[in-house]
Amino acid sequence: MRLDGKVAIVTGGSRGLGRAVALRLAEERAVVAIVYASDRASADETRREIEARGGKAQAYRCDVANPDETARVVKAVNAELGQVDVLVNNAGIIRDALAASIRDEDFDAVINTHLKGAFNFIKHCYFGFIRQRSGSIINISSVSGLLGSAGQANYAAAKAGLVGLTKTVARELAERHIRCNAVAPGIIGTDMTSHMVDDPTRLEPIPMRRLGKPEEIASLVAFLASDESSYITGEVIRVDGGMAM
């Protein structure tokens, strides 16, 4: 298996896209740290499914926007599971509104979760990666960060920020054989987007005329986490059915 023995942190790993990523990395025989914000039941369900398939996982509660909590979780993962080899920054929330109507607290919450949360985990894994002179960081951005998205100024800004963060960290760490890439999903079929399936107009911007599957994102993440992508860094790879081409 491509990730046999490696330790992977997946933030927002209890459900949706993060759950699919956690399951796929475990399928590749990574030991998975499932980071969740509040839904312990879903995190435990994901952990149990990984274990039922013969894998190993552990769940960790964390407010990713809090640097002290992220430091605690990274330290615990290193001590309990082993040195982190793969970091997938997937945690996110949505607080949609037109730019003139977004409440300050909603703007800050989205930026802090998506962008500051990714920065916090990168910062606290940074020197561990340097010491072992290897590692793969995968930031889950979005086509919204590339194209903009009406009613999502906070979300689009956070996802665009992840692109800049990805390229900067990739430049800082490339000489140490540590890679940092971003994945930019389009509209992915999760609980949050299930209503779109019955509304053909929502699929019109997608040349392939369908929603993406969480597993299609997870497959790319598994590739970027593995040594098969050892000469890829600083990239933003779209998985969007052609939306942003």
Active-site residue numbers?
Answer: 155
- To the nearest 10°, report the CA torsion of 195, 199, 204, 209: 70
Residue 144, Cα to own-chain centre: how many angstroms? 15
CA-to-CA separations, 103 to 144, 149, 161, 208, 240, in angstroms, rounded: 20, 17, 20, 35, 29
Q: Residue for token digits 């890679």?
A: 179
Return d(Cα 37, Cα 61) in angstroms, integer. 6
Measured CA to CA, the distance from residue 149 to residue 94 in angstroms comes to 12
Query: CA angle, 217 as apex, 6 and 115 as ends, to 5°?
Result: 80
Amino acid at 138: I
The residues, ordered by sequence, that sit 6+ positions from 11 with a Cβ below 8 Å of its Cβ are 18, 35, 62, 64, 88, 89, 90, 91, 117, 118, 121
